[in-house]
Amino acid sequence: MSELRFILSPSSKGVLLTEEQGDFSTFPQAEEIYAERVSGWNYVLDKLRATCLSVK
């Protein structure tokens, strides 16, 4: 199983969001699985960005 972590840290300009994707190296077809996951980030990041910017 791979993990996805979201870490929120205080920043001088607000809050810093750090995302960490788990290690795929032990998976069969690791490169293919990783590439599929990375391609989904654009969708997630756009929605996350829109959500964060809508909060006042």
- The single residue listed with the structure tokens 């920043």 is 11
How many domains are there within the chain? Answer: 1
Band (pLDDT 50/70/90 cuts) for residue 12 is very high
Q: Buried (b) or exposed (e) across 24-47, using 16+ Cβ within 10 A?
A: beeeeeeeeebeeeeeeeeeeeee
* Sign, CA torsion 24/4/9/45: positive
- The single residue listed with the structure tokens 């964060």 is 52
pLDDT at 10: 93
The rounded mean pLDDT for the chain is 83
Q: Give the structural domain span for 23.
A: 4-54
- Contact indicator for 25, 34 with CB cutoff of 8 Å: no
Q: What is the mean pLDDT of residues 11-34?
A: 86
